[in-house]
Structure formats: C-alpha cells, structure tokens
Copies of this chain bind each other. A is one copy, B any other.
Amino acid sequence: MAEFTFAPLTPASFLDRAAAVFADRTAIVDGERRFTYREMSERCRRLAGALVAQGAGHQDRIAALCANSHVMLELHHAVPMTGAALVTLNTRLSEDEMAALLDHSGASVLVATREFADPARRLAGRAGLPCFVAGGPGDSYEEWIADAEASGHVPADERQLLAINYTSGTTGRPKGVMYHHRGAYLQAAAMAYHARLGPGARYLWTLPMFHCNGWCFTWAVTAAGGTHVCLRAVDTAEIWRLLRDEGITHFSAAPTVLTMIAEDPAAGSLDHEVRVDTGGAPPSATLLARMESMNFAVTHLYGLTETYGPLAINEWQPEWDELPREEQATLRARQGAPNIIARPLRVLDEEGRDVPADGETMGEIAVSGNDVMLGYYRDDEATREVTRSGCFMTGDLAVMHPDGYVEIRDRSKDIIISGGENIASVEVEGVLDSHPSVVESAVVGMPDERWGEVPVAFVTLRKQDVDAAALIQYARERLARYKVPRRFEFGELPKTSTGKIQKNILRDRAPELEESS
C-alpha cells in the first residue's frame, strides 16, 4: 500500500489549503487589522518558528490568555504545526485559578493579548515562563514573530495531543480535556458542513475561542476559506454594528447571549439571513420567534467540552417547516442527532442498557467516537469516573424520542428532587420563559426539611409588570403544583464566560430568599 495515500488528519492542514486556494481573501478582521490567508499563513509559520526557537517541541504545552483576536487564531494554527499542544485559558478566571492551570498543564510559554497584559506578566513571572504580549504598550509578540524563521510541519501521529481545554466546571477541581488532531480535523469538517460555510462566509466570533477551541470553528472557518471576524468582548451594540457593516453570515452563541442580542436597543431586522448556531441550553420558543423575525436562522447544537463542542445537531427536517410555530419550537429545543462525523448518541440506564426510544424514559447520554476526548490530562481517576459501558458519560439526563432525536431533561446535578418526585429545572424554566414579561429564568433546588428539596426561581424581567404571585399563578396553570417555584428573585443572572448560567451561585443564594407564597 503506497505511503502517499496516507495523510495524517490534522487541522493544521486546513490553513495550507486556504493559503493555496484563497491566498488573497480576507482571513481575519480584528478591529482595524485585516489579514489575507497568504498573510495569515506566513504569520502562523513564523509563529511556529518562534515557538520552536523558544524550545517548544513535541507535546510541549503553549498557554494562551487571549481575547478573540488574530493572535488567538494564529496560535490555533501555529501550535499544531510545532507538535505542541495549545492550552487556552478562560479569561474570566482569577489569577490564582489561572496560575493553577499553568502549573497543572506544565506550559512552557505564555502568549497574551493586550487586554490581559498585566495578569499575564504577573503569571509568567510567578511561574518563570517566557511571556509574549500582543498589542498595547510593550508589545513583544510582533517583534518575536517578525524575527522568526518560518517553520511548521504536519504531525506524524494524527491522534497525538493537540489541545488541552480546561472545563469551566463551576465546582470541583478543573479538568484538562485532551483533544487530538484527528478529532479536531473531523469536528471542523462537520462544523463546516452543518453550518454551510464556504469562501463567502463571514463568521463573527461571539463564542470565546478559548472555549472548546471555539467549537472547532477556529479551524472550520479556515477550512472553508471564510473570514474570521473577531469580537474581543461580547458587546451587543458592537455585534449589531458588525452584523450590518461587516456583512456577517454566521455566528455561534449560547441562548443567553442570543437573548442579549435580541433585547439590544440596536436590534432590528437584517437585510440578509444570518445562520446562528446555539447551544449550552435549548433556545426558548419566544427567543426563536424573535430571532427568526429579524432574519436569523437558528440551529440548536449540543455538546460538551469533552466532545470538541457540538457532537449533536438538531437536524432540521424540511417537512417541519409546515408545522405550527409552537410545535417547531418544541422540536427545535431537542438536542437532536449525531453530527455527520459523530457516532449515534445513546441514552443509557443505570445498568448501561439503552432506554426505550419512547420520549419518556430518562437515562444518561453516553457517547463515543472520534470527537470524544482522549481523557483528562494527568487525571486518570477523573477519566475513569466518566467512563462507563465503553462510553463517555456526559452527565446529561435525557430521553430518546421515537424518531432518534435526544432531548435533555436536565443535567444530573440540576435535577430537583422534591417529595420523591424528579423536577427537571429546564421544564419549569421553559414555562417561566414563555411569559411575555420574562427575559430568562433559572430554577434550582433548595434544601427543605419536609420535601427534601423545593424549586426556587431567579428571573430577569423585560417589563416590571409582574411579581412573584403573578408568576406563581402563571406557573400553576401550566405545571404540576410541586414543580412551581416557592421563592423568586428578580434581577440579572450570574453567567460564565460562555453565557451559561452559574446555578451553583444561585443554589448558594436560594436559602436567603423569602418564601413567596
């Protein structure tokens, strides 16, 4: 068998293709700076050379503390060419948390963007690491790569370590999710396919690139020859400006971010369709209707850090367009089906058997395949804890519908058990969110002597024309009595950098609230 028929699968190869085919197309827009694919390729090859000159080699770890920027994109394409692994730090962590991750990953270089120059320099100083800051006073990045010799090659082993993504895990020790080249390559190809990217795509970076390597869109957009439009911080007015001025065609964001976008004063109908991928929680019917009315086509995806981002997609079947809007929203709230390169999702009971596909029996989503992590870095125990029945156990409780689509009922840790009954917080939140005055809500369990737990609601209002009593009344008309929240708090919800609501904070706060009824 001829050796030239084997090419290792690596996302690094996509930049070669883009540089060959789309050399003069705009690869990156980052504020005032724009780079073509020719320029991006040259810069990445010099960055790879600079890293090699710094001693970065096979399986070394390179840390990034970066806003969504050309620098972060350059790291995503250059680090794989060196054989090293990229460790992207969540920019919202405290300095102590970041220091712990630098230590755990054993990173040998730290690269930062100007927004994080001060903490980066302090962190590097503490850890004794070389640190390069891009932009701002004392920029050392441009000089570093300007002087470097172009380098870069394709790794020989397609399953070697590509990246370590620390879970933003709200509790417990952070876990370093290990990606390999093959997985990221296939996942990027799947994202390019499902999002219908192409050389005309202009992808807005609302999603943090440090989160699951931006669901592998960092590579997918490059594979397609599209344009990465960077957004250094989520600013909804700026998003609306870019949607209009930069002709954005695609972006990805959690439903909470979509809500912010839809509620922004600048919101309004667009003159071109924008494809939006959302995940992290199901988009509500209200949100979907608002987005659609403004010319956004929303696709619901599902995945975890452990699955390179979206492993599942709510594949929309053409006939569903004819269904009533309410029914469409119900269908779209489902997490769906494996993406084109993923293995079928399974829903397993506690004995590891597939639950019946009846849309009712709950089990845990279990996955395997090329887009599932290699394990947690230097944490075999944690890896073993999530491995069962030859699968990665996601911790998401779901049902399998008769048509093969999976629907999450709750995170196992978000289930509220009240008087022996399971209450799915998402079900209660769905009802509250359907109230016209509600922007979004989060429901958590609170310890209760009599019932074990009782549900408590945190609600952001659009209009201040309702109170707890009104929402309780509204919920009672739509839910079993035991599912109706006992306490309410109104205001902003605490969120992670990716827009996920931090229920652990709410759980701590719940007992301080007054009984509402």
Contact = CB atoms under 8 A, between A and B. Distances in A.
Contact of A340 (B3, B224, B403): B224
A17 B387 contact: no
Contacts of A344: 16-17, 20
Interface stretch (A266-274, A368-376, A488-496): A368-376
A20 B370 contact: no
Chain A contact residues, majority secondary structure? loop
A422 to B, nearest CB: 26
Interface string A1-23: 11111110100011011001111
Interface string A105-134: 000000000000000000000000000000
Nearest to A161: B1
Contacts of A341: 189
A22 B320 CA distance: 13
Nearest to A224: B340
Contacts of A390: 3-4
Nearest to A337: B21
B315 A5 contact: no
Contacts of A14: 340
Interface string A334-360: 001110111110000000000000000
Contacts of A383: 2
Interface string A363-405: 0000011101111000000010001001110000000000111
Contacts of A23: 403-404
A193 interface: yes
A9 B340 CA distance: 12
B4 A338 contact: no
Given A5-B375, A21-B404, 6 more contacts: A16-B343, A20-B404, A21-B315, A21-B403, A23-B404, A224-B340
22 contacts: A1-B159, A1-B374, A1-B375, A2-B373, A2-B375, A2-B383, A3-B390, A4-B387, A5-B183, A5-B369, A5-B373, A5-B375, A6-B370, A9-B370, A13-B343, A17-B340, A21-B336, A21-B338, A22-B317, A189-B189, A189-B193, A223-B340
Interface of A: 1-7, 9, 13-14, 16-17, 20-25, 159, 180, 183, 189, 192-193, 196, 199-200, 223-225, 315-318, 336-338, 340-344, 368-370, 372-375, 383, 387, 390-392, 403-405
